[in-house]
Amino acid sequence: MNDTVIELTGVTAGYSRAHPALRSVNLKVERNQFLAIIGPNGGGKTTLLKVILGLLEPFSGEVRVFGEAPGRIRRSRLGYVPQVIPDRSFPATVLDVVLMGRLGAKPRFRGFGRKDREAAMGMLEKIGIADLADHRVDMLSGGQKQRALIARALAGEPEILLLDEPLASVDPTTQQTFYDLLAELNERMTILMVTHDVGAVSSHVKSIACINATIVSHGETIGEDEVNRAYGCPFELVSHGVPHRVLGSSREVSGD
């Protein structure tokens, strides 16, 4: 069985062909990998997630998720927590929002049943906001909304979980609880997480990708000067014990 669940080959993508966020990126992610994605603002981290999700078509190159184009993948196989929380009136309860994460796992037009509600409440309990299940989501604090979105992404029991700075508005105690949950989930799902706090999650991640249009990922160790000069990532973020290799814009510098 092929253990590669995500593969990008020569992917150039973004919102402007003249100034793409990603250039000729090559990346493989294996099943049950826990990949932390770091890099400077504007370096292409969110663009990478959107390309994998099929929300953004690349200008060139090929994207395969479970061996297929992202648009052909059943929605429930991918869970996504976006970085930006819409700040507008949304008259739905927290439980309603989390139940939306079950839509991709159901036959079309079938309502939510007992199993769906149990799964949704179970995730709310794990995230620590079960007491808010009946509260309107637009009345929550930023951190509470973020936790509701995390629970929604997990409620569908995805095989791949993609998170874009999921803990930016969450208190430190909840952050640690969430990291522990991710470690548990990683036993049965692949996780990609954009983060600026690799130190906090370093005991759980299995590899790091540093993105600034190109990628630094698990493999051969590279030096501080090379990282700072070529990728714009603070060296202390990537020197936490995980070795690295460079996946450049035109070639892979080190092999497996």
Predicted local distance difference test score (pLDDT) of residue 47: 96
Give the C-alpha separation, 206 to 107, whole Å: 35
Give the C-alpha separation, 137 to 95, whole Å: 9
Q: ∠ CA(121), CA(127), CA(130), 5° rounding?
A: 40
Phi, psi of 23 (to 5 degrees): -130, 115
For the chain, the C-alpha Rg in angstroms (whole number) is 18
Residue 36 makes CB contacts below 8 A (sequence gap 6+) with 193, 195, 198, 201, 202, 205, 207, 208, 209
Domains present along the chain, CATH in parentheses: 1-66+162-256 (3.40.50.300), 88-158 (no CATH)
Give the C-alpha separation, 194 to 38, whole Å: 6
Give the pLDDT of the chain (256 residues) as one tens digit per residue: 569 999 999 999 999 999 999 999 999 999 999 998 887 888 899 999 999 999 999 999 999 999 999 989 888 899 999 876 665 667 899 999 999 988 866 555 567 889 999 999 999 998 889 999 999 988 888 888 888 988 999 998 899 999 998 877 677 777 778 888 888 889 999 999 998 776 666 777 888 887 888 776 544 344 455 456 545 555 554 444 443 433 333 333 332 3
Give the C-alpha separation, 79 to 160, whole Å: 6
Predicted local distance difference test score (pLDDT) of residue 76: 84
List the structure tokens of 169: 């508005």
Element holding 235 (H helix, E strand) = helix 235-238
Residue 113 CA, chain-centre distance (Å), reads: 28
Please answer whether residues 252 and 220 qualify as being in contact, where contact means their C-beta atoms are separated by less than 8 angstroms: no
pTM, two decimals, is 0.81
Between β-strands 60-65 and 4-13, what pairing exists: parallel, antiparallel or unpaired?
A: antiparallel
Which residues on neighbouring strands pair with residue 11, listed in sequence order? 25
Residue 167 CA, chain-centre distance (Å), reads: 12
Nearest Cα to 134, choosing from 115, 146, 148?
148
Work out the angle between the directed axes of helices 114-127 and 142-155 (0-180°, nearest 10). Answer: 140
Predicted local distance difference test score (pLDDT) of residue 235: 52
